[in-house]
Each structure stands twice: as C-alpha cells, then as structure tokens.
Amino acid sequence: MNDQPKRIQRIGVLTGGGDCPGLNAVIRAVTKTAIYKHNLEVLGIQDGFLGLVQNRMHPLTEHDVSGILTLGGTILGTSNKCDPARYVTKKPDGTLETHDVTDRCLEHLAINHIDALVVIGGDGTMSGAANFVRRGVNCIGVPKTIDNDLAGTDITFGFATARYVATMALDRIHTTAASHHRAMIVEVMGRNAGWIALESGIASGSDVVLIPEIPFDIQKVADYVTARSRKGRSCSILCVSEGARPLDGKQVVNHVDPTSPDPIRLGGVGKVVADQIEQMTGVETRTTVLGHIQRGGTPVPEDRVLATQFGHAAIEALTSGKRNRLIVMRGRGVTDIDILEAADKQRTITLDHPLLTAARHVGTSFGD
Ligand code: F6P
C-alpha cells in the first residue's frame, strides 16, 4: 500500500463573500505560482461556492491573469449568499427552503479532477471551507475582507485600501466642514469591528470615533462637540462605524437579507447620530455614508503586496504537502494556521488595544 499523499496536479480557486480590493492580485499570484513554479493546472470557480454548486468553472492560464494585479473586484465573480451546507432556494410560492448540497459540490470537484481548493474569503467563506475540510477536501484559505475582522491573522488584504479611501474622504470632509463651521459625520463600513473607523479616524485626526466595541453615550458626544465650538474650533469631524451602538441601544440595521448566511446589513447610524447631535448642540450637522466605495477600485500598494504574498504562500503550502491551512500574517511574517481556527470567528478591537490608547491620548473621543 502506498501511503504517500497524491501529488497535487490541479487546483480550484474561488473568491467568496463580499468583494474587496486585492482579490485579483491573489488570483494572479496563485495562478502564476502554480503554473510557473509547480506546473499545476488551475481552474477558476465562478461566483464563489455558487460556482461549485452549479459546476461553473474554467481553466485559468497565465494570459487570463495578466494585467489584473491593479484591478479591483474579482475576475471570478463572488457571492455572499451561498453556503452549500445551507443552500437557500425559492419555492414557486416565494417561500425559502434550505438544503445541504455539499455532496453535489463534491461530485463537481471529482468530475473536474480538482485535488485541492484555494478559498479566498472572510469568516463566512472560511466556515464554508470548514464544511469541505470535514468532508475530506484539502482547502487552503486566504484571508480577505475590508473589515479586517478575520480571526487568526493580524491583517487581511483589502483593509489598507478601505482605510485609505475612508481617510481620503475624511480629509475632504474636513475642509468643507471647516468652511461652514459644521459637525460632519462620515459613516464607514466594518460590520461588528471598528478597524476601518479607528484607523481612518486616527489617520485623519477625527475628533470623535464611534466603534461597535465601545458603546457610545450620545450626551458625551454632544458635550464634546459643544466644547469644541466654545473653544472656537471651526468644525468637528466624527468618524462613525456602521456597527456603532449607543449605550443600552441597538445597532442600526439597513436591511435583512434572508437569502444570505449572514442576513443583517448594517447602515444608517451616521444619520441617527447627526440628527441627535444637531438637536442637542445647535451645531449644523451633515452625514456622508461611504458605503461600497470603500470596497471598489484599485488596491493600494500595501494590499497588492500582501495579496501577492498570500497567494504565493497558498500554493507553497499546498505543494509542500500541507492540508487545511489558512495563510495569515503574524508580526511581519506570513505563516499558516489550521483553517478551522478562523471559521465563524471575528477579530474585534480589544479595549486595551494600543491604537485606542494612542487615539485617546491625542484627544480623540470615543463617546464613552
Ligand atoms: O464585509 C464587508 C462589508 O463591506 C461590510 O463592511 C458591510 O457591512 C457588508 O460587507 C455589506 O454587504 P453587502 O455588500 O451585502 O451590502
């Protein structure tokens, strides 16, 4: 009997969950490393796990991935609504039903002779990968998300671009706010983690930063804005995370999508805070919601570099015989951990985080 693991010849690659800058850079690094260094075949699976359910995939050549390093989005397409273990379909009467279609996906992997999967995604996608790992499929995860909230890694690719976009927006808001002596709120994404708000807030010198990890007291925020006006400050800039919540209050939900494994879509807290601040302080207040602008467009160089390192490391892990690993950044180095460690876990800001301390010491209010 031969106990040697089967040599990997053909890999599948997919991008799952919300898109994010740097996905194409990972696809390029995976494909080029696989072809140039290891002579492997690469199949691109379309629209995340949905393409696996529906058997939609095609070979990726070096030609297909040439010129995509700087391109936003994903050439493979993605879906944040498909978890094969809980696949949602609509019945003729419009009601939804859920099936486990993992077996169908396993058949599609077998008929396409896929030996291993590179799964590029966030916590939801890693939970999807965990389902396949438990069924014997070798999955290597690559951590993506603008929210930077995936457990196990210090950073995900996509975050640096979102932080840059949010910072640029806050800088621009600053000049108009100062001209009109207004309080201006910029609502940023991040789900239940405040990383985008905290870091773009620090980078732009925002006066108030509201994050999900620190429930805010609206009276304290209003007092802070009033104190600034009394001191003759020309404006107040508030960077508010979409997941920020008041003391004893709830997050503001934009809508619920029952077809999605993660059905809650946050959004709208910026307007709620603006109305209260204007009413409590008498300072004219405006809100800008950045939304998906933070996810679109070309990745900043930091994300291109990280994505290239991650994609390369995924193929090196596979070809060195590793199974079921998540490629991560720890300190300043790329390494890998058990992929199951990251499934369904979020990395939020700890209350003793040095960035919070530094922000407080330069006078930033967190509304607490
Ligand atoms: O996880 C990335 C993210 O952009 C979050 O910051 C945001 O809450 C969510 O996705 C928005 O999802 P959708 O694209 O479905 O509106």
User: Domain of 18: which CATH number?
Assistant: 3.40.50.450
- pTM (global) more than 0.85: yes
Same structural domain, 123 and 82? yes
pLDDT, position 3: 55
pLDDT, position 5: 63
Residue 189's contacts (CB-CB under 8 Å, 6 or more residues apart) are: 146, 147, 162, 196, 241, 242, 290, 291, 294, 295
From 79, 188, 189, 256, the mutation candidate for ligand 1 (largest count of ligand atoms within 8 A of CB) is 189
Same structural domain, 180 and 266? yes
| Residue 292 CA, closest ligand 1 atom number | 4
Same structural domain, 279 and 179? yes
In the three-class reduction of DSSP (H, G, I as helix; E, B as strand; rest coil), residue 212 is classed as: coil
Same structural domain, 21 and 153? yes
pLDDT, position 6: 72
pLDDT, position 4: 60
Q: Among all residues, which ones are annotated catalytic?
A: 147
Closest C-alpha to 265, from 289, 299, 238 = 289
Same structural domain, 99 and 210? no
Residue 39's domain spans which residues? Answer: 10-157+299-341
- What residue ranges line ligand 1, CB within 6 angstroms? 18, 80, 145-147, 189-191, 242, 265-266, 295
From start to end of 219-284, where are the E strands?
236-241, 253-256, 264-266
pLDDT, position 1: 46
Listed as ranges, residues in the chain with pLDDT below 50 are 1
pLDDT, position 258: 87
Same structural domain, 281 and 310? no
